Every structure is written in structure tokens, then in C-alpha cells.
Amino acid sequence: MNSQLTQMFSMQNKLNAAINPNWIEDESQDWHCAVLVEGAEMIDHYGWKWWKHQTPDIEQVQLELVDIWHFLMSAELKRHPGIALESAIEQSVTQWQPYFEQSTEQGEFLGLAKALVGKSAISEMAYTEFCQLMGAVDFSFADLYKWYIGKNVLNYFRQDHGYKDGSYIKVWNGREDNEHLADALNTLACDETLADNVYKYLTNVYPS
């Protein structure tokens, strides 16, 4: 777990730096606000409207957790300014690893989700809530790792294919890029070649 967390934090820094080389110093990027918004979207996918029947879309909830993890890692790295990147990553891993390792009761999903959103609204890290939410929707650390690698690659793929200038095509053959990513992750082995293989897969199916 330590090595996988280190890899994910390193990849997140690299992705943020590719978009904004000064992301660590840029105070205009509110990562906690991003967690808050994604958390609200996650609640919507789960269902909260008491006046109508709703069936939780667990797959979309899990995808929102992966997006939230991107922003939580970014917020965590910003909590260690003024030190070498390697030390910031090490401290971040040290902070998060016990929460992923500890066995805790899952709790009620909506209560945990609201707590995560509430902490994010006051710029606090929702360590316990995030890990318990994973348990509440049967999303393991191994799942998080595999999907994070996939979404990280997809984010690069989007940037490489015109995401910034608006030319990127998000829906291919009637399916969103996240669905094509799911096809790739369900097919490919989760090993050291996963990132390269996901990028190749997306390149092969993306409209030319």
C-alpha cells in the first residue's frame, strides 16, 4: 500500500503540474471546493430525494470517489508547502495510510457523504469519511488504485486531444469516455504496464 500511495501522489503532482506548473503556490485553486462539488454529485448518484423512488447508481458513486481522491491528494500535498516534493509525498502517504488500513464500521452512506462535504466546506481533510465511504459501497483500496491509474491516464488523454481548447470529443459511439475507460480497466491487467496500456486502448478506440 505504501508504494501504491506514493505512486498515486507522485502521479497527481505530475498531472497538476502539467496543467499548471505553479499549482502548489497557486491559491486560486480551491481543492476542498472541488471535493465539495464532487461530493454533492456523488450524493445525487446515490439518491437522496425522499419524494420519489431512487435506486443508487453504485458504479457512478465509485467513480465520483475516484474523482474526489484526485482532489484530496492535491489538497493533502498543499498542506506540506516549502519542503522538497519527495518529503511532501512521504508526509502525505504517512498521513493517509493508517486510514486506509484501519478497520472501521462503514456507517450510513448519506451521513458519511454529508460529513465529507461539510468538512470540505471548511477546508478540512475528510480522512475517515472518505475511507468509510469506500467501504459503504464495497470499493477496495485495490479498486481505488486501479481506477485512479485509469482516470489519471484519461485526464492526460483528454489534455492531449484538445480538452483545453474544447475540441475533445467526450462521447464516442454513443458512450462517454468514462465508459470506454471502464472497458479498458475490465480487460487489462493491473500491473506496471497498466498506464501505458490504457493510453494505447483509448487511442485505438478514439474517433480519428
DSSP letter string, 92-122 = HHHHHHHHHHS------HHHHHHHHHHHHHT
In sequence order, which ranges of the chain are alpha helices (DSSP H)? 2-19, 31-46, 58-78, 85-101, 109-121, 127-136, 141-160, 177-187, 194-205
Q: Which residue has 464532487 as its cell numbers?
A: 38
22-48 in b/e form (b: 16+ CB < 10 A) is: ebbeeeebebbebbbbbbebbbebbbe
Q: Under 8 Å CB-to-CB from 202, ≥6 apart: which residues? A: 153, 154, 157, 177, 180, 181, 184
Question: What pLDDT does residue 103 have?
Answer: 58
Residues 8, 145: contact at Cβ < 8 Å? yes
Residues 56, 45: contact at Cβ < 8 Å? yes
Tell me the domains of the chain and their CATH numbers.
1-139 (1.10.4010.10), 140-208 (no CATH)
Residues 77, 89: contact at Cβ < 8 Å? yes
Question: What pLDDT does residue 95 have?
Answer: 93
What distance in Å separates the CA atoms of residue 101 and residue 118, rounded to the nearest whole number? 24
* Mean pLDDT per 10-residue section of the chain, whose length is 208 residues: 91 89 87 96 93 90 94 93 86 93 74 95 94 92 93 90 88 88 89 90 90
Cα maximum dimension of the chain: 52
Question: What pLDDT does residue 31 have?
Answer: 95
What distance in Å separates the CA atoms of residue 72 and residue 34, rounded to the nearest whole number? 9
Question: What pLDDT does residue 6 have?
Answer: 94
What are the angstrom distances between the C-alpha of 45 and each of 55, 67, 74? 9, 14, 24
Question: What pLDDT does residue 166 have?
Answer: 87
Question: What pLDDT does residue 83 have?
Answer: 82
